[in-house]
Structure 1
Amino acid sequence: MTQYFLKKDFQFSFENGKFPKLLYVCDVDQTYTQLPRIMHSHRDIMEIVYIKEGSGYHVIGDKKYKTKKGDVLIYNSSVIHDETANPNTSMSVYCCGMTNLKLKGLPENHLVADDVSYVLHSGEKANEIEVLLNLMCSHIKEDKLGAEEISTYLLCALISLILQIPQENTGLSTSEKSLLADRIKHYIDEHYQEDITLDTIAQSLNISSFYIVHTFKENTGFSPIQYIIRRRIGEAQSLLINTDYSVTQIAGMVGYDNISYFTTLFSKTVGMTPKKYRQFWTKMAK
């Protein structure tokens, strides 16, 4: 027999030894990942996504990533993210959301700092991560006595394991154009629900429309108008999934007074009408 002892000075990563609260865990196959999940964020919720199979393209915060099997994606609270599966592969993922996460030295509901990569390569830890997520799903699905408590401990183990993965410092650019793109993005994020146009952005920031379009697309890959549409459609997706507001109400809430125009844009961006999208995700939740 070999006996192993814990270190006497062992300390939890969690501040004050307080565990995070698991809100949901999902096992998502290609049926659902084939639909893009456009720009959105979660207030007071941090998400972990693990890619089981396939690959995709993800925008998280100000960074763009090509993602693949074995990658761990970190969505800190309130960080905008955009998810698109590679159509040439069948992407499947595990996803879990939590709140009350407080790690030492980081803001609440943040798993990594803002100056490191939001995508971690699991490498040799891939199997352990996948096992933990699979166990979480199984216990919650079976809904037996103690499932929530067991899943909470599994979540803590998952976080501790992820914290062992080397984190890459992204070295955020502070060039004049990058800073301007950040200003434009921040303005759109604050006002996208309003009657916002390229001219209103230009007037508010006192910059020419041409320079705004050129700089923003160079830094983000989207024109300002494309970004506005994706922010609106992404918020609409969240409202369709998580609320009982009518499609007409949701259109107005994200900045569209014309329901027909909203439906056309939504269908073109997501691949189905808002009504069908809601039915699609409602069916998944059952």
Structure 2
Amino acid sequence: MTQTRYTLQQHHVNLKSSVKLSHVNMYHCESPASNIFPGHPYSKIIFIQKGQGQFYFGNQFLPVRENDLLLVNPDKQKFSVDVRESPLDFVILGIENLSFIDDTKQCILLFTRLSFPSDTCQHLMQMLIHELEKHSEFYEDACRYYLNLILIEIQRNTNIHYDFPSKEKNNRDCKFVKEYLDSHYTENITLDILSKESKMNKYYLVHSFTKHFGCSPISYLNDKRIEESKNLLETTNHSIAAIASMIGFSSQSYFSQSFKKNTFMTPNEYRRASRQI
């Protein structure tokens, strides 16, 4: 497999949209081959230039062929590409500050495939690639210009719309998630539940929360539970199993493991030490 990467620097033209085209990766995959690609906390448009193959996202897969578009919402999970019959050429546009949503204004599934929505869209993609390869003056601004036109063409010809999360909205959403965790830490909480309650894509949720608070939502939840368990260990005679259940841990062993990782002491050691003071 060969890869050509173009990294885009700060743009010169003040585009109206907050969307940022951060980079473009161009891939050539020989057949037969299976290639693994890392996930990222930003959206991607994948354009199949030539050939055919299959893209695997977890347990789901999409067959692709020339001129297909894949729209991928922010996701840190890896994905893979299988090429069996002929070499596959494709381009990945990395796009920040954008999520793909449907007519109901809900985030689409992690990914979706479009047969190229219009001849104009296909031409614009080819022009963007041409700018990258030619590398003329102001090519970065031209690439961002073509990206905006591509996004317009997609919205004109499909049921796909866009969400442009602002910093203020991200702050409100992250604060809501934190307050929800503070109030519901004794319950069984998963990323799927947080995503539903906050109406955020779960992968974007993790990225935003971690950036805002310095840890993932699940790490924050575990730390919150550990802090509450310390108070129960200090002030009550409840058994370790009872405390684990009261603060939301699925088992005593998982609670003890998490507690020791956090405090370098077992719950019983912490209880004895706190009562010797």
Normalised to the residue count of structure 2, the TM-score between the two structures is 0.45
Structure with greater strand share of residues: 2
Higher relative CO (Cα under 8 Å, sequence separation at least 6) belongs to 1
